Chains A and B, each alone.
Chain A
Amino acid sequence: MKEEIIIAGFGGQGVLSMGKILAYSGLMDDKEVTWMPSYGPEQRGGTANVTVILSDEKISSPVLDTYDNVIALNQQSLDKFASKVKPGGILIYDTNGIHNHPKRDDITIYPIDAMGATLELGNSKAYNMVVMGALLEAMDYKLPMENVVKGLKKSLPERHHKLIPLNEQAIEKGRSLLKKQ
């Protein structure tokens, strides 16, 4: 098993923390993991992305050209990374604010209304977990939910542990977005 993933969007959308929760969940499932951010002056407003690799084997390069799974949360990210999905791979993108939709027939494309689903939950901070739910549902590698919960516990500071049920709910919501397709 090896999943090469890039999550890309605006700074402030929770891209890096989603990557961290995903990586920690993989670690809890006894996988080798790397989390490589685009770091620097991209905290808020600019574009941010993170490459996460989950694997049974030791991971060589933490930096990649192409990915099994691409998650694009704005137009720039979609433009930049849609062509980087490996043939047979998966592209998930949030349709909000997208005017130029990807056209590839050698990959599986899941347009989702993650922002709409998050607003239904009533807490916009859960946005990244809705997106992660969609990814967990789409990926070939089925990460057990119990390890995702452990990953959440490990990556969130204790004072935020009361938000874990909300995060679980958001993940389920994200999964359901994909099941409908």
Chain B
Amino acid sequence: MKEEVRLMKGNEAIAHAAIRYGCDGYFGYPITPQSEVLETLEELMPWETTGMTVLQAESEVAAINMVYGGAASGKAVMTSSSSPGVSLKQEGISYIAAASLPALILNVMRGGPGLGTIQPSQADYFQATKGGGHGDYHLIVLAPSTVQEMVDFVGLGFDLAFKYCNPAMILADGIVGQMMEKVVLPEQRPRRTEEEIRRQCPWAADGRKGLRKRNVITSLELESARMEVINHKLQERYREIEKNETRWEEIDVEGADYLIVAFGSIARICTKAKELAAEKGIKVGIVRPITLWPFPSEAIARAAEGKKGILCVELNAGQMIEDVRLAVHDSLPVEHFGRLGGIIPSPDEVVKALEEKIIK
């Protein structure tokens, strides 16, 4: 399959991207607003072309543990769900992180808490960036704002997951999952051969009994001293990821009086708000964190220099704002604006919030 321009939903794009980036296996369980991922994969039947496995598991818990198993054998595997389903997966995610395995998890967030609504939300920011499951671990968290980024982050997510032997998460929302946009699908990347997997993942439990020293993959270590060493190694890796992989986008930050920090599709609503504010003579710049972990703290601190205030716009009651305040050490006013439970704010509302909370 060659590079191709198409119009598709973010969820459909994820399915196409998974196949084209040479994913070995997808394990999922349907839930709105991301069911199109599994549906599209079933429709495309990649097991007949690239040989990719697509399986509807009996539950979210089963799906994440299938990912755990697939990842342990060195395969490029993924799962997807929406907020309540991702909560169910947290134990498995913690195990995968502890066992230092690469995997890709997609969360298309919906309004919560609980079963909540099926409309867009960003209320799983804490869950994605601060752990979610138990123990001291981090996921590499990518926040797409366009359907094209849904495609690109499948490739990037797998690349980073394998580079650092660490699970990566695409943290999307119902907007970017359900909307259609123009996308360029990448050329088909062949799935890795068994030989390539053995070379890339010498740690993998690939069933080669007797041909090499036994590989053991586990998250269990009853000896505290050894568990501390494992923890230190994880922490070293996290510092390495922070150093190398922090990503963000800046829009018209220079010359602006105010700053908006927003991620995902909400950053686009804020970009429109920035245009509306400019018509009123209000100069706004935008910083869009692309990796939510590692968080672009230094970039935000730099962008905030000389500004009069920061508005943090998120579809939640105020989660990322904690990281923004830490980044700037509260050296300028930082306020939050968000709608809850699945309501999408309009660009006008963002301008109004900026005027009421920051400009006054």
**A contact residues vs B (CB 8 Å cutoff):** 20, 23-24, 27, 32-37, 39-41, 59-65, 154-155
Q: List 25 A-B contacts (CB under 8 A).
A: A24-B7, A27-B7, A33-B7, A33-B180, A33-B181, A34-B179, A34-B181, A35-B179, A36-B179, A39-B118, A40-B32, A40-B118, A40-B119, A60-B275, A61-B268, A61-B271, A61-B347, A62-B179, A62-B181, A62-B265, A63-B344, A63-B347, A64-B346, A65-B346, A65-B348
How long is the Cα–Cα vector from A60 to B278 in the complex, in angstroms? 15
How long is the Cα–Cα vector from A64 to B26 in the complex, in angstroms? 35
Q: Are A23 and B268 in contact (CB under 8 A)?
A: no
How long is the Cα–Cα vector from A41 to B347 in the complex, in angstroms? 25
When C-beta atoms are compared, the residue in chain B nearest to A31 turns out to be: B182
When C-beta atoms are compared, the residue in chain B nearest to A52 turns out to be: B180
Q: Which residues from chain A contact B174 at a C-beta distance below 8 Å?
A: 39
**B contact residues vs A (CB 8 Å cutoff):** 5, 7, 32-33, 118-119, 174-175, 178-182, 265, 268-269, 271-273, 275, 344, 346-348
With A23-B7, A23-B180, A34-B181 known as contacts, the answer to whether A39 contacts B33 (CB < 8 A) is yes
Q: Which residues from chain B contact A39 at a C-beta distance below 8 Å?
A: 32-33, 118, 174, 178
Q: Which residues from chain B contact A154 at a C-beta distance below 8 Å?
A: 7
Q: Which residues from chain B contact A37 at a C-beta distance below 8 Å?
A: 178-179
Q: Report, nearest first, the 6 A-B pairs whose CB atoms are least far apart.
A: A61-B272, A60-B271, A35-B180, A65-B346, A61-B269, A60-B272
Name the distance in Å between A104's Cβ and chain B's nearest Cβ.
19
Known: A40-B33, A41-B118, A61-B269. 6 other contacts (CB 8 A): A23-B7, A24-B7, A27-B5, A35-B181, A60-B275, A65-B347
How long is the Cα–Cα vector from A24 to B6 in the complex, in angstroms? 9
Q: Which residues from chain A contact B182 at a C-beta distance below 8 Å?
A: 27, 32-33
How long is the Cα–Cα vector from A63 to B273 in the complex, in angstroms? 11
Name the distance in Å between A8's Cβ and chain B's nearest Cβ.
16
How long is the Cα–Cα vector from A33 to B33 in the complex, in angstroms? 21
Q: Are B181 and A63 in contact (CB under 8 A)?
A: no
Name the distance in Å between A107's Cβ and chain B's nearest Cβ.
18
Q: Which residues from chain A contact B273 at a C-beta distance below 8 Å?
A: 61
Name the distance in Å between A7's Cβ and chain B's nearest Cβ.
14
**Which residue of A20, A36, A65 contacts B178 across the interface (Cβ within 8 Å)?**
A36
Q: Which residues from chain B contact A35 at a C-beta distance below 8 Å?
A: 7, 179-181
Q: Are B119 and A63 in contact (CB under 8 A)?
A: no
Q: Which residues from chain B contact A63 at a C-beta distance below 8 Å?
A: 175, 269, 344, 346-347
